[in-house]
Structure 1
Amino acid sequence: MLGIADAIDQMNRTVACLIRWLALIMVLVQFCIVIGRYVFGFNSIAAQESVLYLHATLFMLGAGFTLLVDKHVRVDVFYAKVSDATRRRIDICGHLLLLIPSMTALVYWSWPSVRNSWKILEGPISVGGIEAVFLLKSLIPGFCILILLQSLSLLIRMLNTELKT
Structure 2
Amino acid sequence: MLKTADMLDAINRRLASVLRWFAIFMVLIQFGIVIGRYVFGVNSIWVQESVLYLHAALFMLAAGYTLQVDKHVRVDIFYAKASPTTRRRIDIAGHLFLLLPSVAVLAWWSWPSVRNSWKILEGPISVGGIEAVFLLKSLIPAFCALVALQSLAILLRLFAGEGEE
Moved over 6 A (4+): none
Partner of 2:80: 80
Question: Taking every aligned residue pair, what percent have the same amino acid on both sides?
Answer: 71
Q: Deviations over 1:81-108 (max 9, x none)?
A: 1111111100100000000000000001
Match of 2:34 in 1: 34
Per-residue deviation, 1:75 = 1.1
Spell out the pairing of 1:53-92 with structure 2 (5 A cutoff).
53-92=53-92
| Aligned counterpart, 2:19 | 19
Q: Specify which structure has the higher proportion of helix.
A: 1
Matches within 5 A, 1:1-165: 1-161=1-161
Provide Cα deviations, 1:96-133, integer angstroms capped at 9, x if missing partner. Answer: 00000000000011011101100100000011110000
d(CA) in 2 for partners of 1:138 and 1:77? 35
Shift of residue 147, structure 1, vs aligned partner: 0.2
Structure 2 length-normalised TM: 0.97
Gaps of 5+ in 1: none
Aligned length: 164
CA distance in 2, matches of 1:67, 1:25: 23
1:19-58 alpha-carbon deviations (Å, 9 max, x no partner):
1101100100000000000000111111111100000000
Structure 2 counterpart of 1:73, one-letter code: V
Say what the alpha-carbon RMSD is for the aligned residues: 1.2
Give the secondary structure class of the aligned counterpart of 2:62: helix
